[in-house]
Amino acid sequence: MDIKFNDGFTAIYEYVKKQKPLIHHLTNYVTAGDCANIALCFGASPIMADAAEEISEITGSADALVLNLGTMNKVKFASMELAAVRARKKGIPIVIDPVGVMASDMRFEAAMEIIRGGASIVRGNYAECQTLLLETRRGKGVDSLVTCQSDIGHLAEQAAQKYGCIFAVTGKEDAISDGKRTIIGSNGVEMLTKVTGTGCMTTTLIGCAAASTKDYLLAALCGIQTMNVAAEIAFKALKDNEGPGTFKTRLLDSVYQLSSEELAKMSKLR
């Protein structure tokens, strides 16, 4: 497969750093600060807001909407629905992170309702995306062990076809599909699993990229690759006595420093 994303990545990077798109997040309180910081490192302008009273105004000013199901509840979900309605009407991308969708009926139903109502990109791990594809809950917690990763590309493809949007399944390898075209990436490091919110932050980066192009397959790929390549650079610089704390700090540094040329050069895609 002949893939050349250099120009696409460059266009997104230039747009984000110049236009500073406003990324409206309805997200969890565990990693909200990390998501805001990675959006700023990437060049975008994050806003976190979830009060029903102001949702319509804030989504109305935004260039992309990121919905993250971590620490959600009924009240926050009502706001997510309002935000999604506004985003669809306005035509801005909706990126959803179905955090722990296999962990409760509430999360499952919330994710299904948003995706069925119309989402642009879904970014989850294998267990989360499998739950959405099969419409049945499996696993435990938010970091469920994946029983089978051999068909990650197949999972992304099928889910994308079923729901008519981009599916980005991340893990040891990543698969991004629009139902027709499926790209497999093999960047990233194991230590990403030792820092909370690296999935959420990846979804934020996808939201930033999706604010910059109508090619959402490219946007999802760009967000995931930015996280994974930055993680490789951050990990490589770690000293023997350093671990997840220093890694997280340097991950932000690396996203800030990363150029689109370096991104394209280091990306391992097929």
- Taking the least distance from each CB to its own copies, the nearer of 3 and 75 is 75
Tell me the closest approach of the beta carbon of residue 99 to its own copies, in angstroms: 9
Binds its own copies by CB under 8 A, chosen from 17, 29, 172, 265: 29
**Interaction with its own copies in 96-155: which residues (CB under 8 A)?**
100, 103-107, 140-143
Structure token pair of residue 64: 């992309």
Choices 6-14, 118-126, 202-210, 252-260 (CB under 8 A): range interacting with its own copies: 252-260
Angle between helix 216-236 and 198-210 (nearest 10): 140
Choices 7-15, 39-47, 115-123, 173-181 (CB under 8 A): range interacting with its own copies: 39-47
CA distance from start to end of the chain: 6
Binds its own copies by CB under 8 A, chosen from 33, 116, 147, 259: 33
197 binds its own copies (CB under 8 A): yes
Binds its own copies by CB under 8 A, chosen from 132, 195, 206, 218: 195
Tell me the closest approach of the beta carbon of residue 101 to its own copies, in angstroms: 11
Provide the mask over 48-67, with x wherever binding to its own copies is found by CB under 8 A and - wherever it is not: xxxxxxx--xx--xx-----
Q: In what order do the strands lie in the sheet with 45-48?
A: 45-48, 22-26, 64-68, 94-97, 121-125, 166-170, 174-177, 182-185
User: Per this entry, what is the length of the chain?
Assistant: 270
165-179 exposure pattern, b = at least 16 Cβ within 10 A, e = fewer: bbbbbbbebbbbbbb
**Interaction with its own copies in 208-247: which residues (CB under 8 A)?**
237, 241-246
- Beta pairing class for 182-185 and 174-177: antiparallel
Binding site for its own copies (CB under 8 A): 20, 22, 28-34, 36-37, 40-41, 45-54, 57-58, 61-62, 70-74, 100, 103-107, 140-143, 193-197, 237, 241-246, 248-257
